[in-house]
């Protein structure tokens, strides 16, 4: 029985890897409880790069952490605006009482 469980896990990972490469998506594990109840710590999300002009208020997005750009965080778009060639995005975790302290500035080329 344990071998069958391991085989299922391996098959799932293989299918996920093939899907990831073919669809240009990646997998990310949610590490905090800031998006509960929508996403829980330990959940895996599928991410795909999109043009910033297609982002809307209320979308769930993944962005680099401002103080440590090698890390990523998952939050909902709280406010979204465009100024010249830059898009300004303010995010908020569903479980957080207030939006994040920072506003992300993203050019259409990022």
Q: What do you get for the CA distance between the two ends of the chain, in Å?
A: 47
pTM: 0.75
Q: Strands 68-83 and 60-65, how do they pair?
A: antiparallel
94 contacts 78 by C-beta, under 8 angstroms: no
Tell me what pLDDT residue 53 has: 87
- Number of structural domains the chain divides into: 1
Tell me what pLDDT residue 95 has: 98
Instruction: Provide the CATH number for the domain around residue 34.
Output: 2.10.109.10
Tell me what pLDDT residue 20 has: 56
Average pLDDT, the chain: 86
Q: Strands 86-92 and 103-107, how do they pair?
A: antiparallel
Whether 104 has a pLDDT exceeding 60, the answer reads yes
The boundaries of the domain holding residue 73 are 2-107
Residues 23-65: pLDDT tens digits?
A: 677 889 999 999 999 999 999 998 988 889 899 999 999 999 9
């Amino acid at each position: 029985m344990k071998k069958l469980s391991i085989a299922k896990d391996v098959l799932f990972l293989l299918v996920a890897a093939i899907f990831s490469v073919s669809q240009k998506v990646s997998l990310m594990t949610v590490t905090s409880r800031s998006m509960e109840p929508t996403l829980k710590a330990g959940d895996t999300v599928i991410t795909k790069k999109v043009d910033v002009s297609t982002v809307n208020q209320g979308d769930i997005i993944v962005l680099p952490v401002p103080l440590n750009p090698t890390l990523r965080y998952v939050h909902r778009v709280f406010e979204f605006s465009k100024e010249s060639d830059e898009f300004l995005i303010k995010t908020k975790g569903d479980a957080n009482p207030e939006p994040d302290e920072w506003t992300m500035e993203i050019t259409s080329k990022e």
